[in-house]
Chain A
Amino acid sequence: MVRVTSRPDETVGGARPATGASPAPDAAGLGRARAAGFLVPSMVLILLFLVVPAAWTIYLGVTNYRLTGLAAAHPEVVGLDNYTKALTDERFRTSLLLTLQFVLGSAVLGQAGLGFAIAFALRDRRGPLRRVVEAFILLSWILPSSVVAFLWIALLDRDAGTLNALLGTPGMAWLLDHPMLSIIVFNTWRGTAFSMMLYAAALENVPRSHLETARLAGASTWQQLRDVVFPRIRGHVLTNLLLISLWTFNDFTPFLITAGGPEQRSEILAVYVYKVALSGGELGFGAAISFIMLLINLVIALIYLRMLGRRERA
C-alpha cells in the first residue's frame, strides 16, 4: 500500500494536513510564542536603529536645536516653524526641483533606460564580449563612491581633465558650466549596473517563442518591446524604478564632486540637508527637511506600489 504524505508547506487549495504531533496553527508548526521569539532580535535592532532615530528626527524637527550656541544646550519647541520656513524657502524649493531633475535624469532615464538598452542589446550574446561589458559596468558599481568621485573629478577637470583632452576642448569647466549635467551623467554611469543586471534577468523570462511570434507577424523592434517585452517585465520595471528612484533621491555622492556648487546649482536635497544641519549647524531645521524628504520618499513608493498592485489585479 502506498501512503501519500505531504509536507505542511505543500498543501493545495487551502486543505490543511493533519499535523498530528504539533497542534500549532501555522505552517511551520512553531506556535505563536516560539515564532515571536524568532522575531524579537530583529525587531529590537529595527527599533533601536531605525524607529528611535526616526522618532528623534521628528522631535528635532519641531525644535530650534542647533549644533552650537544657546539652542544647543536648551532647545525649545517651535512647533511647525521649521516646516513653514522650509516650504517658503526659495533655496529649499530650488533644491527640491534639482533633486527631481536628478532622479528623472540619472535614475529613470539614465540608469533604467541605459541599463535596459544594454541588457536588451546583450540578451542573445554569450561569450567574451558580454562578460567584458558586464565586468566593466559592474566595476563602476562596486567601486567606493569616494574613489569614483575622485576619478570623475580627474575626468572633468578644467585644466588637466581627461575629457577635455579627448574632446580637444582645453579649459572647458564642465563642473562649473554644467554641474547638474555632470552629476546626472556621473550617477548614470555609476548606477547603470544594477538596472542592467535586473533587466538582464527579467529578459530571460521573456519566452523566445513570444518574440519570434511577433517577428513572424512583422513586428518592428519597438513593437516587439511594446507588445511582448514590456507587458512581460512590467513588474521588474516598476520594482527597479522604485528602488533606483529612492536611492537616487537620497544619494549624497554628488556632494563629493560639486559640493552642491557652484552657487547651489547642483544642491540636491541630501546635500542641502547636510549643509543646513551640519555646516550651518541648524539641526532642528535640517531634521524638518529630512522628514519632508521621508514623506516624499513615501509618496514615490506609494505611487509605484499602486502601479504594481494594478498590474496584479489586471
Chain B
Amino acid sequence: MSAITLRELTKVYPNGVRALDALDLEIADGEFFALLGPSGCGKTTLLRTIAGLELASAGSVRIGDRAVTNLPPGQRDVAMVFQDYALFPHMTVRDNIAYPLRIKKVGRAARHDKAAGTAEELGLSALLDRRPGQLSGGQQQRVALARAMACHPQVFLLDEPLSNLDARLRLEARTFLKRLQRELGVTTVFVTHDQAEALALADRIAVMEGGRIRQVGTPTEVFRRPANTFVAGFIGSTPMNLVPARVHGDELAVAGVRLPVPEDVRGRLTDGEQVVYGVRPEYLDHSPEPVPDALTGQVVVVENLGSFSLVSLDVPAGDDGATSVQVVVPEGREPAPGDTGWVVPRPGRTLVYRDGELVTGAAAPPVPAPRTGVAADA
C-alpha cells in the first residue's frame, strides 16, 4: 500500500509566502498523478513537502499507512528525480545508480549487481562505466530514473521530468516514462507546467493555482469539463473560448446571437443572470454558410498548425465592442481572413460558468469520444 494522503496541508515560507493553503488530496496506490499549474502555484512546494525536503507548516502527509509529516526525507521511502537529474559528476553511472544502496549499507557486490540489473531494464548496460558528463540528456534522465528505481521506493516523485529535453526527445521520453510507470506500478507524482505533458502522462491531474487545488480529475474530465474558468483557460493547447453571456429564459444571449441553454444546466440558471459561455476551439465547427444556432463574425487570423488550422473570428460582445472566438478547422477547409464565418458548438460540449465556477447539471450527459490528435499537441 502506498497511497498518498494529504490533509489540510499548509506551507508558509519564512518570508510570509503561503505556498500551500490547507490542501487536501488523495493519490491512489499505483497512480500516475500530475501536479499542474503556472509557475508559483505551489506545485513544486507540494512535491517537495511530500518528499520531506520542505516541512509542512500545518496539516499531515501520509504515505501508505505511515504518517510521515515530520520524518526526514531519508526515512520516507520515496525517490525523487530532479529537473537537472542531479547525477554526481565524479561517480560512474554504476556508482550513481547504486548510491542510495550504498547509503543503506548494501555491500559493494550486491549493489553493483542491483545497479547492473536496473541499468539493463532501462537500456543503460553499455554506459555503466561512463560518467554523467559523457551522456546525452536522455541518457542522463534514464540514469536518474534508474537511481530512483534501484532502492524500490514506495513513491516516485518527478520534478519537471521532461523539461530539460529537446522537443523530439521529449515525446520519446514521455512514452518511455508512461510505459515504465505502468510496468513498475509504483505510485508516481510529477510536477509540470505543461498541460499537454500532464494530459498525456497522468492517470489523474490536480490543477493548482495560488497554493490551492482548483480541480482534480482524469485528463478527460479536466479537458472536457474544466471546473472553473482558470482551469478552462489553462488546459488545452488552445485555451477555451470564454464569452460573456446573459440568460434569457431558455436562451443565452452570446456575442449578439441567441443560443439555446445547454441541456444539462437547463433550469439551473436564473433569468437575466450574467454568465460566461465556454466552448473549446476543438468543439466548434466552422461553416462558411449561415447555419442556425451559430456564433458569427469576421475571420481575422488563420494559424496553420499542420493537420488543422486555428481560426480567430471577431464576434460582437454585448455593448463593449468585439471579442475573439477561436475555432479549429481541419486542413483544406480554412477560410480566408476577412471572410464572414459561422461557428456551431457541438452538442453537449458547451459549458456555462457563473462567477468563474462551472454550472453543473444533475448528471453530465454522455459525450462522444474526443477528437484525437488535437488536445495533446503542445
Show the binding face of A for B, using Cβ within 8 Å: 207, 209-210, 212-219, 223, 227-228, 231-232, 314
Contact = CB atoms under 8 A, between A and B. Distances in A.
Contacts of A231: 88-90
Given A215-B74, A216-B79, 11 more contacts: A210-B86, A212-B53, A212-B73, A212-B82, A213-B147, A216-B78, A217-B100, A218-B103, A219-B103, A227-B99, A231-B89
Nearest to A213: B86
A216 B83 contact: no
B80 interface: yes
Given A223-B103, A227-B99, A216 B80 contact: yes
Contact of A207 (B86, B90, B103): B86
Tell me which of A213, A214, A218 has the highest count of chain B C-beta atoms within 10 A of its own C-beta: A213
A215 B75 CA distance: 10
A217 B82 contact: no
A212 B51 CA distance: 10
A224 to B, nearest CB: 10
Nearest to B99: A217
Contacts of A223: 103
Given A209-B82, A223-B103, A215 B72 contact: yes
Interface string B58-86: 00000000000000111100111011101
Contact of A217 (B52, B53, B74): B74
Nearest to A215: B73
A213 B103 contact: no
B88 A216 contact: no
B222 to A, nearest CB: 29
B104 interface: yes
B162 to A, nearest CB: 16
Nearest to A218: B74
B207 interface: no
A218 B75 contact: yes
B151 interface: yes
A213 B151 contact: no
Contacts of A227: 88, 99
B104 A218 contact: yes
A216 B147 CA distance: 11
Contacts of B80: 212-213, 216
A185 B168 CA distance: 60
A228 B88 contact: yes
Contacts of B75: 218
Contacts of A314: 90
A207 B89 CA distance: 11
Tell me which of B75, B79, B80, B104 has the highest count of chain A C-beta atoms within 10 A of its own C-beta: B80
A121 B176 CA distance: 41
A216 B73 contact: yes
Contact of B53 (A210, A215, A228, A232): A215
Interface string B82-115: 1110101110000000011001100000000000
A34 to B, nearest CB: 39
Contacts of A216: 51-53, 73-74, 78-80, 100
Contacts of B52: 216
A273 B99 CA distance: 52
A209 B88 CA distance: 10
Contacts of A212: 51, 53, 73, 80, 82, 86
B151 A217 contact: yes
Nearest to B150: A217
Tell me which of A209, A215, A231, A232 has the highest count of chain B C-beta atoms within 10 A of its own C-beta: A209
A231 B132 CA distance: 14
B74 A219 contact: yes
A218 B105 CA distance: 11
28 contacts: A207-B86, A209-B82, A209-B84, A210-B86, A210-B88, A212-B51, A213-B80, A213-B88, A214-B103, A215-B72, A215-B73, A216-B51, A216-B52, A216-B53, A216-B73, A216-B74, A216-B79, A216-B100, A217-B74, A217-B99, A217-B100, A217-B103, A218-B75, A219-B103, A227-B88, A228-B88, A231-B88, A231-B90
- What are the 4 A-B residue pairs with the smallest beta carbon separation, nearest first? A218-B74, A209-B86, A217-B100, A209-B82
Contacts of A219: 74, 103
Tell me which of A215, A218, A219, A314 has the highest count of chain B C-beta atoms within 10 A of its own C-beta: A218
A284 B66 CA distance: 78
Nearest to A230: B90
A313 B52 CA distance: 38
Contacts of B78: 216
A222 B128 CA distance: 27
A217 B75 CA distance: 8
A218 B74 CA distance: 4
A216 B86 CA distance: 12
A207 B85 CA distance: 11
A210 to B, nearest CB: 5
A209 B52 CA distance: 13
Contacts of B147: 213
A215 B48 CA distance: 12
B262 to A, nearest CB: 47
